[in-house]
Structure 1
Amino acid sequence: MLLEVAPDKLDLSLSVIQELKMDGVRILYSTMSSEKEPVIYTRHNNVITTSFPELHSLGIDKGTILDGELIYSDSYNQGKPDFEKVMSRINVKDDRKVAILSKETPCMAVFFDILYWKGESVMHLPLLERKRLLDLALGDQESACKIKWSIGNGQELFNLAKEHSLEGIVLKNPESRYYNKRHEAWQKKIAYLTSQVYILGLRKGKFGWLLGRKENGRIRPAGVMEFGVSPDERKAFYQISKQIITEEDKNFIYIEPVVQCKIKYRNITSKGHFRIPVFENFIFNN
């Protein structure tokens, strides 16, 4: 089941299941096949089993499908999940490289739900009952564990996520069945970071604004922003940008770095780019 975005003013004291949001790749882990090894699917239905041999022997009984997140926990970054490290392994197919990476950057699966148990669907059961079945299906181990959860502790958990720069929290109706789609019974509340940035250009074709951030007295490229800008704000900025164009190429129109805005974002990538930046508002200096 995919997550809806929680309303900004959501009451975090509600009696719902709360979990930390793991910053990784969503997976389904299936032992329904007659083959010896499990099958690991992404939410886009891509099979990634061969890329993660460290997850092949979790001791999960045949006839089981688990829902979870594939993460890499970086000990050099206070144990925080590293999304980029997981993504760097997704498409590696060479057996030798896969073997090396499974030792150098071993990933683990954090499971939070169970869809099939002993060959039968349990998606119709309430989430609390599925949590009990998950406890029976999986024991915590080096390469897999169950998500820790609580009820009625949302604000405290969200504050903890913000304090430690984690992605956010997930809120779930304890009586919800499992839907194979996005549903309001499961919602995510992201612990966004904010920043004041420069707009450096416009992308041709698909909408996007080039962003820049000031670092050591210089403005450095910081990725592309695609979300949060209203039609009226796009029009207003387009009229301004026509007057400050410096150059353009096949993909972008570049402008003078004089317009600033406030954004919210997940984190900064290893390349120094904002991850999933969202427009908040323009900044007008007197």
Structure 2
Amino acid sequence: MLAKAVPTVPAPDSVDGGLAYEPKWDGFRGIVVFDGEHVEIGSRGAKPLTRYFPELVEAFTRLLPGPCVLDGEIVISTARTGRARLDWEALAQRIHPAASRVELLSRETPAMFVAFDLIEAEGVSLLDEPFSKRRAALERLVGGIGDPIRLTRITTDVALARRWLEEFEGAGLDGVVAKPLAAPYSPGKRVMLKAKHHRTADVVAIGYRIHASGTGVGSILLGLYDDEGRLRNVGGMSAFSNARRLELIDELEPYIVRDDDGGAVTGDTERSRFSSGRDVSFVQLRPELVAEVRYDQLEGDRFRHTAQFERWRPDREPRSCTFEQIERPIAYDLDDVLG
């Protein structure tokens, strides 16, 4: 079951039957199937995740009281400045082909599973039950199990949910999910509502990649200046329409860095485990063009998700595009979120 984005945390009476609110966890969505002896973990897109989290497989086998199908989020918590918070980078490292590496990381940075729905229990499907009943059954099943299986917090108080939206970001969470209390579990449908953080920043266009179709601009690489005056790659922006991709070729042409023969100078970004052999080369641009983008949050010194183009800012000097403009959430301890 999926969620559609809304600009703010919705009022409880905006949906028939009312709403319940939960923190929005920023990890790997996981569907856990336990038959009483064996465990399988699948992603939202049905990709197998079991081999990457041996510590969770062991815990599910040992702690779950009976056969069930759980829906939740796989996360990793690490301490920063004395406070625990979600660590996306540590989680991403788990997608590794070497079993020995996965085993080592499972001991060094163990994952936890935050359960937020129950799809089946003791062989009985709960898909058609309203969320209120599924949640009650989930609490009975895993409410007292403890680490590394946790039950997400929940409230029907919209004022508290809106406070969570502001406070919990400091622990690495990225919003609040509103769930209709009367709704059945609807796979593939955006029944839930999610309110996330959206901010804007002025960034420097430092390069672009051609779209996978071979025509037009697929994505634009973005940079910010650090305290030492270095221009750092902070991610990219994409999701342009077909017509806009072609327009961008002409708009960016005057800024292309060219060699002595007049050819476009290209570079390569660092490959990651998610590159999957994709071409990571890009056409370099002179750092003269400023864009305003929407973003949700930073993970380290990079945008956590792809930024969205708002407008060009010819009135802004590229050197003014620094990390100082980026809003950093106030630190919040993940242990307080978990309760």
Q: Please report the TM-score for the alignment, with normalisation by the length of structure 2.
A: 0.75
Query: Which consecutive residues of structure 1, in runs of 5 or more, have no partner in the other structure?
Result: none
User: Does structure 1 residue 54 correspond to structure 2 residue 76?
Assistant: no
**Which of the numbers 265, 277, 291 marks the counterpart of 1:248?**
265
Aligned 1:161-172 pairs, distance under 5 A: 161-162=168-169, 166-172=173-179
Matched residues, number: 279
Aligned 1:125-164 pairs, distance under 5 A: 125-138=129-142, 139-153=144-158, 154-162=161-169
State the Cα deviation string for residues 72-106 of structure 1 (Å, max 9, x = none): 01122632211221121133542x43332122101
2:287 aligned partner, one-letter code: P
State the Cα deviation string for residues 192-220 of structure 1 (Å, max 9, x = none): 34321011122113310111111122222
1 CA distance for matches of 2:152 and 2:93?
Answer: 24
State the Cα deviation string for residues 129-149 of structure 1 (Å, max 9, x = none): 000000111124110111001
Aligned 1:77-92 pairs, distance under 5 A: 78-92=83-97
2 CA distance for matches of 1:240 and 1:48?
Answer: 43
**Which of the numbers 16, 19, 22 marks the counterpart of 1:19?**
22
**Which of the numbers 180, 205, 212 marks the counterpart of 1:199?**
205
**Mean alpha-carbon deviation: is it higher for 229-238 or for 122-131?**
229-238
* Identity among equivalent pairs (%): 24
1 CA distance for matches of 2:255 and 2:59?
Answer: 59
How much is the aligned-residue C-alpha RMSD, in angstroms? 2.4
User: Does structure 1 residue 225 correspond to structure 2 residue 255?
Assistant: no
Q: Aligned-pair distance for 1:167?
A: 0.8
Contact 2:9 2:178 in 1 (8 A): no
Q: Hey, which bits of structure 1, 4+ residues long, moved more than 6 A?
A: none
Q: Aligned-pair distance for 1:110?
A: 0.1
2 CA distance for matches of 1:79 and 1:194?
Answer: 27
Contact 2:197 2:297 in 1 (8 A): no
2:77 aligned partner, one-letter code: S
Contact 1:66 1:116 in 2 (8 A): yes
**Which of the numbers 107, 113, 127 marks the counterpart of 2:111?**
107
- Quick one: structure 1 residues 10 and 109, their matched pair in 2 at CA, closer, same or farther if it must change by over 3 Å? closer
Contact 2:9 2:176 in 1 (8 A): no
Contact 1:5 1:187 in 2 (8 A): yes
Query: Which consecutive residues of structure 2, in runs of 5 or more, have no partner in the other structure?
Result: 213-217, 258-263, 267-278, 317-339
1:29 aligned partner, one-letter code: V
- Quick one: structure 1 residues 231 and 262, their matched pair in 2 at CA, closer, same or farther if it must change by over 3 Å? farther
Q: Aligned-pair distance for 1:128?
A: 0.6
Q: Which residue of 2 aligns with 1:275?
A: 304
1 CA distance for matches of 2:171 and 2:27?
Answer: 16
Q: Secondary structure at the match of 2:173?
A: coil
Q: Aligned-pair distance for 1:4?
A: 1.5
Q: Secondary structure at the match of 2:31?
A: strand
**Mean alpha-carbon deviation: is it higher for 109-118 or for 143-152?**
143-152
Contact 2:5 2:195 in 1 (8 A): yes
Q: Aligned-pair distance for 1:3?
A: 1.7
Contact 2:9 2:194 in 1 (8 A): no
- Quick one: structure 1 residues 129 and 281, their matched pair in 2 at CA, closer, same or farther if it must change by over 3 Å? same
Q: Secondary structure at the match of 1:91?
A: coil
Q: Which residue of 2 aligns with 1:68?
A: 72
Aligned 1:175-214 pairs, distance under 5 A: 175-183=182-190, 185-206=191-212, 207-214=218-225
Q: Aligned-pair distance for 1:232?
A: 6.5
2 CA distance for matches of 1:106 and 1:189?
Answer: 28
Q: Secondary structure at the match of 2:107?
A: helix
1 CA distance for matches of 2:138 and 2:39?
Answer: 17
1:192 aligned partner, one-letter code: H
1:23 aligned partner, one-letter code: D
Q: Which residue of 2 aligns with 1:238?
A: 249
Q: Which residue of 1 aligns with 2:292?
A: 262
1:261 aligned partner, one-letter code: A
Q: Secondary structure at the match of 1:90?
A: coil
2 CA distance for matches of 1:188 and 1:38?
Answer: 29
Q: Aligned-pair distance for 1:52?
A: 1.6
2 CA distance for matches of 1:100 and 1:165?
Answer: 24
Q: Aligned-pair distance for 1:233?
A: 5.5
Q: Please report the TM-score for the alignment, with normalisation by the length of structure 1.
A: 0.87
- Quick one: structure 1 residues 160 and 283, their matched pair in 2 at CA, closer, same or farther if it must change by over 3 Å? same
Contact 1:112 1:131 in 2 (8 A): yes
